[in-house]
Amino acid sequence: MEITVERMAMIREDYNPKNTNLNLDVDWAVEYTNTDQRDINYIIVLKSSSNLNLNFKVEGLIRLDIFEEFIQQECSQIVFHHACTMLMNMISLTRQSSYELFKEDISSTINLNAAF
Protein backbone atom coordinates (compact mmCIF):
# COMPACT_ATOMS: atom_id res chain seq x y z
CA MET A 1 0.00 0.00 0.00
CA GLU A 2 1.21 3.49 -0.82
CA ILE A 3 -0.25 6.57 0.88
CA THR A 4 0.49 9.98 -0.62
CA VAL A 5 -0.42 13.54 0.32
CA GLU A 6 -1.54 15.76 -2.53
CA ARG A 7 -2.70 18.88 -0.64
CA MET A 8 -2.80 20.22 2.86
CA ALA A 9 -4.25 23.38 4.35
CA MET A 10 -4.24 24.86 7.82
CA ILE A 11 -6.48 27.67 8.99
CA ARG A 12 -5.57 29.11 12.36
CA GLU A 13 -6.21 32.28 14.31
CA ASP A 14 -3.89 35.24 14.13
CA TYR A 15 -2.64 34.98 17.69
CA ASN A 16 -0.13 32.51 19.05
CA PRO A 17 -0.85 31.02 22.47
CA LYS A 18 1.86 31.75 25.01
CA ASN A 19 1.41 28.48 26.88
CA THR A 20 4.44 26.22 26.39
CA ASN A 21 2.32 23.11 26.98
CA LEU A 22 -0.31 23.00 24.28
CA ASN A 23 -2.96 20.33 24.71
CA LEU A 24 -5.02 19.79 21.60
CA ASP A 25 -8.39 18.09 21.78
CA VAL A 26 -8.87 17.06 18.17
CA ASP A 27 -12.02 15.97 16.42
CA TRP A 28 -11.31 14.21 13.17
CA ALA A 29 -13.04 12.57 10.25
CA VAL A 30 -11.81 10.74 7.17
CA GLU A 31 -13.82 10.53 3.97
CA TYR A 32 -12.97 8.04 1.22
CA THR A 33 -14.04 7.99 -2.41
CA ASN A 34 -13.61 5.24 -5.01
CA THR A 35 -13.33 2.56 -2.30
CA ASP A 36 -14.02 -0.19 -4.82
CA GLN A 37 -10.97 0.64 -6.94
CA ARG A 38 -7.22 0.32 -6.59
CA ASP A 39 -6.72 4.10 -6.14
CA ILE A 40 -8.70 5.52 -3.22
CA ASN A 41 -8.95 9.25 -2.58
CA TYR A 42 -9.14 10.43 1.01
CA ILE A 43 -9.75 13.69 2.85
CA ILE A 44 -9.05 14.00 6.57
CA VAL A 45 -10.07 17.04 8.60
CA LEU A 46 -8.70 17.72 12.07
CA LYS A 47 -10.52 20.35 14.14
CA SER A 48 -9.41 21.75 17.46
CA SER A 49 -11.32 24.15 19.66
CA SER A 50 -9.32 24.13 22.88
CA ASN A 51 -6.44 26.60 23.37
CA LEU A 52 -5.72 26.92 19.67
CA ASN A 53 -8.70 27.13 17.33
CA LEU A 54 -7.70 25.62 13.99
CA ASN A 55 -8.80 23.46 11.11
CA PHE A 56 -6.33 21.22 9.29
CA LYS A 57 -7.20 19.36 6.11
CA VAL A 58 -5.17 16.81 4.18
CA GLU A 59 -6.14 15.40 0.78
CA GLY A 60 -4.36 12.43 -0.67
CA LEU A 61 -4.38 9.09 -2.39
CA ILE A 62 -4.09 5.51 -1.22
CA ARG A 63 -2.81 3.13 -3.87
CA LEU A 64 -3.36 -0.54 -3.10
CA ASP A 65 -1.07 -3.30 -4.30
CA ILE A 66 -2.58 -5.89 -6.61
CA PHE A 67 -4.98 -8.16 -4.68
CA GLU A 68 -4.64 -6.04 -1.52
CA GLU A 69 -7.84 -5.48 0.42
CA PHE A 70 -8.88 -1.98 1.54
CA ILE A 71 -9.41 -2.07 5.30
CA GLN A 72 -10.93 1.29 6.19
CA GLN A 73 -10.24 1.19 9.96
CA GLU A 74 -6.54 0.43 9.55
CA CYS A 75 -6.08 3.01 6.80
CA SER A 76 -7.90 5.63 8.88
CA GLN A 77 -5.54 5.06 11.80
CA ILE A 78 -2.47 5.43 9.56
CA VAL A 79 -3.84 8.54 7.85
CA PHE A 80 -4.80 10.06 11.23
CA HIS A 81 -1.34 9.40 12.70
CA HIS A 82 0.43 11.07 9.77
CA ALA A 83 -2.02 13.99 9.70
CA CYS A 84 -1.37 14.63 13.42
CA THR A 85 2.38 14.58 12.79
CA MET A 86 2.00 17.08 9.93
CA LEU A 87 -0.27 19.26 12.08
CA MET A 88 2.26 19.42 14.93
CA ASN A 89 5.03 20.26 12.45
CA MET A 90 2.89 23.03 10.93
CA ILE A 91 2.14 24.48 14.38
CA SER A 92 5.85 24.44 15.13
CA LEU A 93 6.68 26.14 11.83
CA THR A 94 4.12 28.91 12.28
CA ARG A 95 4.74 29.78 15.91
CA GLN A 96 5.99 33.20 16.91
CA SER A 97 9.77 33.25 17.31
CA SER A 98 12.36 35.76 18.49
CA TYR A 99 15.86 35.85 17.03
CA GLU A 100 18.84 37.98 17.92
CA LEU A 101 20.79 39.34 14.98
CA PHE A 102 24.36 40.55 15.44
CA LYS A 103 26.20 42.75 12.99
CA GLU A 104 29.32 44.73 13.83
CA ASP A 105 28.69 44.83 17.59
CA ILE A 106 25.10 45.97 17.10
CA SER A 107 22.40 43.64 18.34
CA SER A 108 18.70 43.82 17.81
CA THR A 109 15.80 41.52 18.46
CA ILE A 110 13.10 40.88 15.91
CA ASN A 111 9.85 38.95 16.14
CA LEU A 112 8.82 36.80 13.24
CA ASN A 113 5.27 35.73 12.65
CA ALA A 114 5.41 33.22 9.85
CA ALA A 115 2.27 32.03 8.17
CA PHE A 116 2.60 29.25 5.63
Give the pLDDT band of residue 36 (cuts 50, 70, 90): confident
Q: What is the per-residue pLDDT across 56-75, written as a single tens digit (0 to 9) for each? A: 899 999 999 888 888 999 99
The answer to pTM > 0.75 is: no
User: In this model, does residue 98 exceed pLDDT 80?
Assistant: no
16 and 96 Cβ atoms separated by less than 8 Å: yes
Total H helices, total E strands in the chain: 1, 6
Give the pLDDT band of residue 88 (cuts 50, 70, 90): confident
Q: What is the pLDDT of residue 25?
A: 78
100 and 112 Cβ atoms separated by less than 8 Å: no
User: In this model, does residue 13 exceed pLDDT 80?
Assistant: no
- Tally the residues of the chain: 116
